[in-house]
Amino acid sequence: MKNGILKSPGILLVLATLLSASISCGTKVSKSTSLNDVDPWSRLDNMLKQIKAPTFANRDFVITQFGAVGDGKTDCTVAFKNAIDACNKAGGGRVLVPVGNFYTGPIHLKSNVNLHVVKGAKISFSTKPEDYLPMVYTRWEGVELMNYSPLIYAFEQKNIAITGEGILDGQASEHNWWPWKGQKQYGYKEGTPNQTDKDKRAALFAMAERNVPVTERKFGAGFYLRPQFIQPYRCENVLIEGVTVVSSPMWVINPVLCNNVTIQKVTVNSNGPNSDGCDPESCKNVLIKDCYFNTGDDCIAIKSGRNADGRRINIPSENIIIQGCKMANGHGGVVIGSEISGGVRNVFAENCIMNSPELDRALRIKTSSARGGITENVYLRNIEVGQVKEQVVIATMLYEDAGNFMPTIRNIEVRDMKVKNGGKVGVLLEGYKESPIQNLRLINVEINGVQTPYKFSNATNIQFTNVTINGKKVVVTEGTTAAK
């Protein structure tokens, strides 16, 4: 398809605000041909049974016994490595970080190792880029490459964990990693190096479009692509529990191509550029439970690869369960995209609280015809929203430049949501005429304090049941709307 056609938003979905007297508040919505009559939440128990946290042998390897000193200054990189190697070689157990402040470079986990950070312990990570070399096989904004090691990294390992009540401090700030973004609000000064200088970021994306082998996509020193904080890559049976993670260079928790991931009771405080709280990417069977997110970007963002590279790998994120989380600052609470070319399906979020004058959206789905991919089966229930700035619910196919790979968004349901201050638009849908957004259903939703109740462009089968916006009952039946 031609880019010019795809860039056109198409005609607006007809919203008839004056209907015949036969439509009333008690009218039943007509049956959808695509939204299943069976309650999708009935699948949740079986999905949860597939997600089991790993267990570990009852033996401890205390890092101070391997030379670590908790004075916040002594380099403990070798001590962490030796403790992890010994634990792995012995068949597994806990690598224990006792009370103290332990300064280190990257930590690479191995199979059957639980990095346990006790209450009162802190791991403070180096902000020297050279400490994160040699380069490792990683993914950056949805594209595979060789780049700086993430601060905590694991590659093709099984049964790994980060647990405890201690602190993981990336020490990123406007004085080190953050200026690489190239924005003055994060400490960038005109003329200093950044990820956009001489097309550093664009060079990676161009390599992916040309299908350059990953091992030849060598970045690292001189390219200014910030590392993620925690990234298990192609791992199985992952647990991250209890820790507080602060001041990340970029994305905070980013499992990639993993299966069976549990992230629970984690606190994330990182308000730097692209500081997404948790980004499961091309992962299957993920539980994110009882976590707190205060972030500089999306709180939870579910992803599956960018453009040609995402289509090359072609592995979706699926069976993602979010329970009991709290979202403060961020671009979105529960987000899908924008690196979404491999598709996303079966997302369930329940019993969450979202509230901040700096939180932009509650549910956000973002893609484009450069991405392609199918996003389907997204379900939210029992969501309390205090305040958002932009939209309560947004699903858009116009997030970035258009391309030749038409995306699909379908089967979204939000039920039992209350919003005190809904920002600019309550529900915003932006599809393509060639691929309208399909099957959005709102049930028992109350949105207050919103400037524009809804705005639809190229969307079909939109159904509202018991929906109130700014005190007025809104009924949508097969693309027809009435406000009462």
Question: According to the model, what pLDDT value does residue 479 have?
Answer: 57
Residue corresponding to tokens 């157990």: 93
Question: According to the model, what pLDDT value does residue 248 have?
Answer: 98
In angstroms, the CA 95 to CA 118 distance is 11
| CATH code for residues 1-30+276-484 | 2.160.20.10
> Are 250 and 219 spatial neighbours (Cβ–Cβ below 8 Å)?
no
Question: According to the model, what pLDDT value does residue 35 have?
Answer: 53
> Are 248 and 228 spatial neighbours (Cβ–Cβ below 8 Å)?
yes
Q: Which listed CATH number (2.60.260.40, 3.40.50.720, 2.160.20.10, 2.40.50.140) goes with 39-233?
A: 2.160.20.10
By C-alpha distance, which of 104, 48, 41 is closest to 75?
104
Question: According to the model, what pLDDT value does residue 12 have?
Answer: 34
Say how many CA atoms lie within 13 Å of 467 toward its Cβ. Answer: 25
Question: According to the model, what pLDDT value does residue 263 have?
Answer: 99
Query: How far apart, in Å, are the Cα atoms of 136 and each of 203, 279, 280?
Result: 18, 19, 19
Phi-psi region of 202 (alpha: psi -120 to 50; beta: other; left: phi over 0): alpha
Q: Are strands 60-62 and 284-289 parallel, antiparallel or unpaired?
A: unpaired
Say how many CA atoms lie within 13 Å of 436 toward its Cβ. Answer: 16
Question: According to the model, what pLDDT value does residue 27 have?
Answer: 26
What is the mean pLDDT for each group of 10 consecutive residues in the chain (484 residues)?
Answer: 38 32 28 59 97 98 98 98 98 98 99 99 98 98 98 99 99 98 96 90 96 98 98 99 98 98 98 98 98 98 98 98 97 98 98 96 98 98 97 97 95 98 97 97 98 96 96 77 48
Dihedral of CA atoms 19, 24, 28, 33 in degrees, nearest 10, equals 10
Which residues make up the CATH 2.160.20.10 domain(s) of the chain? 1-30+276-484, 39-233
> Which residue(s) pair with 445 in the sheet?
417, 467
> Structure tokens of 306?
């960018």
Question: According to the model, what pLDDT value does residue 475 have?
Answer: 85
Question: Burial code of 3-13, b = ≥16 C-beta within 10 A, e = fewer?
Answer: eeebeeebeeb
> Are 114 and 152 spatial neighbours (Cβ–Cβ below 8 Å)?
no
